[in-house]
Amino acid sequence: MAERSVALVLLAAGRGRRFGSDKLAAKLHGMSVIDHAIASANAASFSARFIVRRIDAVRVETGHRWSLVVNEQADEGMASSIRCGVRAASAHSHTVIALADMPYISAGHLDALAARDIPTFTRYPDSRAGCPAAFPREVYAALLSLKGDCGAASLTFSPSAKIAPPSGQALQDIDLPSDLRSE
């Protein structure tokens, strides 16, 4: 059996138009939104970490354990960032894809996803599949076929699974300035 090597791909190439400015730089509990996502990923057990950013994005300090992946087609939508990240992580047996605007995802939830050997999504309260999600190398080709502004949940994987995060707050993403309100 091949050695298990799990990469994390953090998608951070969106424009954040609804927010009105760079939402990933916005402060939440004394840290930027993206720094929360980076901290969770750093606390999890990944072999490699990749951050997918726009070509014109402000540089983010991630530390020495991260590799920057530039998405020159970011305006196409989320699929282009997934493709960039999967290509960067292609040497790894598994990849977890997470969103930089989800500051409450825990390292424990990321590790639970990373431990799975089939495509595994985060289960939302309405039972739909979403991000973060984990994928074995066997489905990388399907991820590389994504187009437009859709994510991996638009694909059909059999078998697949869903895992609920430890708290509902983990699923909160930052889309509007009002999302930064402290609970």
In a domain? residue 179:
no
Closest by CA to 73, choosing from 176, 154, 146, is: 146
Write out the chain's pLDDT in tens, 183 residues. Answer: 468 899 999 999 887 777 777 788 888 888 889 999 999 999 999 999 999 998 876 566 666 689 999 999 998 999 999 999 999 999 999 999 999 999 999 999 999 999 999 999 999 999 999 999 999 999 999 999 999 888 898 888 999 999 999 888 888 888 877 888 754
In a domain? residue 37:
yes
As for how many domains the chain has, the answer is 1
Tally of residues, the chain: 183
In a domain? residue 180:
no
Q: What's the pLDDT at 95? A: 98
In a domain? residue 103:
yes
In a domain? residue 182:
no
Which residue type does 33 have?
V
pTM, full prediction? 0.91
Residue 150 near residue 76 (C-beta atoms within 8 A)? no
The domain that holds 50 is classified in CATH as 3.90.550.10
CA atoms of 76 and 160, how far apart (whole Å): 27
Domain with 78, as residue range(s), is 6-173
